[in-house]
Amino acid sequence: MPGPRKKKRAQGEVELNLAAMLDMAFQLLAFFILTFKPAPVEGDVVLRMPPPMPTTILKNAEALGSNEKNTNPVQGLTSLVITVVGDDSGTMKMLAVGDTTVGGLEDLDRKLKSVLGDQGTGFDQVLIQVSANLNYEELMQVIDVCTRQKLAEGQRLSKLSFVQLPGG
Amino acid sequence: MAGSMSSDDRAEPNLTPILDMVFQLITFFMLVINFKTATLDMTLRLPVVGSVRPVETKGHDLLVLNIDKGGGLRVFGNQIENIPAYIALEAQASLLAAKRFNPELKAGDDLPSMVIIRADRKTPFRYLNAVILACQQNGFRSFSLKAMNRKEER
C-alpha cells in the first residue's frame, strides 16, 4: 500500500550553482592558452641512409686482366660519389661529381640528370663526401638537388650516405 | 536610512552563456594543442630549402634530435652530454617497441624508427656527421632532415 504522498512544493526548482563550474572552466582555459604554441610548418627531406660502404660491389666485377672479353672491369659500381668542399667560413667552394668539377648547383642538377638517368650506369645511391667545416645549409642545398633526381628505373633517388673528408 | 536588501532584490546574472562560450574555447584549444612542439628546439634556425614539403610521419616511431651550431644535442629542452650513449639507449627502446610488432627483430637489425634531425643552418658537418654515424651504428636507417620552406621562413 503506497505511503502518504508528499505534496510537491511550488518553489521546488533546483538551481545549479554555475559559478564553481565556471571557475574550473576558466582554469582549464587559462592552462590551454598558456601552453598553446602553434607548431611551425617545417619541410622534410626523407632519406634512407645506410652506413657508408665501399663504392664498388664486386659481385659482377672481375679483376683487371682476368678476362680479355670484359671491357668494363668495374661493372657493379652502384654508388655515385659527389664531393663538396667548404671554405673556412663553411661556404661551399668546390663541388664535384666523380672526378669532374661542376660549377654550381644548376650544373650539378644537369650532371646528375644525365648520369643517374642513364640506364647503362646502374647507379642507385649517392655517396656525398663532405669537408668537416661545411655548413649544414650548404649541404642541404646539395641534398635537395640529389633528392630531386630520378633513377633510370623511374623511382626517386632516396639512398644517400655521407662521408667526412679528412682534415678541417 | 536604507533598509536591508531582501532576498528577492539580489541580481543573479545568468552564467549559462558565458559557460557555453568558455567550453567552446576549451574545445578549440584542446583540438589544436600539439604536445610535439615540446620536442622542438625553437631557438634553432633551420636551413631554407625551396622545394621541401611537410611529410606525414604519423604511425612512425620518431626520435627528434635538435643539433645547435656548436654541436650540442638537445632533446626535450635538455642538453645531452654523452651523445653516443643517449642514442644507444634510444635504439634499445626503439628495438623493444618494434619487437611488439616483429618479435624476430634482434639487436643489430635495421630499426623501423625514423630519426628526425633538426640542425641549425650554421652547424658544421662534423657535428652532424657524428650524430648520424652514432645513429647508423645503432641500427637507425630512416632519417628525415628538417628544413624551412622559403615561404615559411621565420
Q: Which residues in chain A are closer than 8 Å to B131, comparing Cβ atoms?
A: none
Residue type for A76, please? G
| Contact (Cβ atoms closer than 8 angstroms) between residue A161 and residue A53 | yes
ipTM attached to this prediction: 0.75
pLDDT score for A1: 46
**Helix H or strand E encompassing A79:** strand A79-86
Report H helices in chain A: 18-35, 105-116, 136-147
Q: Which three cell numbers stand for residue A113?
A: 640528370
What is the distance between the alpha carbons of residues B24 and B152, in angstroms, rounded to a whole number?
A: 30
Mark which residues 50-109 of A lie under 8 Å from B by CB.
50-51, 86, 90
pLDDT score for B54: 79
pLDDT score for A36: 82
Report H helices in A117-159: 136-147
Walk me through the domains of chain B, giving residue ranges and CATH numbers.
37-152 (3.30.420)
Q: Which residue of A has its CA nearest to B147?
A: A43
pTM over 0.95: no
Dihedral sign for Cα B15, B18, B23, B26, please: negative
What is the distance between the alpha carbons of residues B80 and B95, in angstroms, rounded to a whole number?
A: 21
Q: Which residues in chain B are closer than 8 Å to A46, comparing Cβ atoms?
A: 55, 114, 142-144
Task: Report the candidate in B117, B127, B120 with the shortest Cα–Cα distance to residue B44.
Answer: B120
- CA contacts within 13 A on the Cβ side of A18: 12
Which residue of A29, A39, A46 is in closest CB contact with B55?
Answer: A46
Which residue of B25, B123, B145 is in closest CB contact with A47?
Answer: B145
Q: Mind listing the pLDDT tens digit for each residue in A106-159?
A: 889 998 888 887 766 677 788 899 999 999 999 999 999 988 888 877 788 888
Mark which residues 59-78 of B lie under 8 Å from A by CB.
none
What is the distance between the alpha carbons of residues B37 and B27, in angstroms, rounded to a whole number?
A: 19
Q: Which residue of B has its CA nearest to A167?
A: B126
More confident residue, A65 or B150: B150
Written as tens digits, the pLDDT of chain B (154 aa) is: 444 555 567 787 888 889 899 999 999 988 888 777 778 888 889 998 877 887 776 667 889 999 998 999 998 888 999 999 999 999 999 999 888 888 888 877 888 899 999 999 999 999 999 999 999 999 998 999 999 886 554 5
**Helix H or strand E encompassing B73:** strand B73-75
More confident residue, B28 or A8: B28
CB atoms A44 and B145 under 8 Å: yes
Which residue of B22, B51, B125 is in closest CB contact with A130?
Answer: B125
What is the distance between the alpha carbons of residues B92 and B97, in angstroms, rounded to a whole number?
A: 9
**Helix H or strand E encompassing A129:** strand A125-130
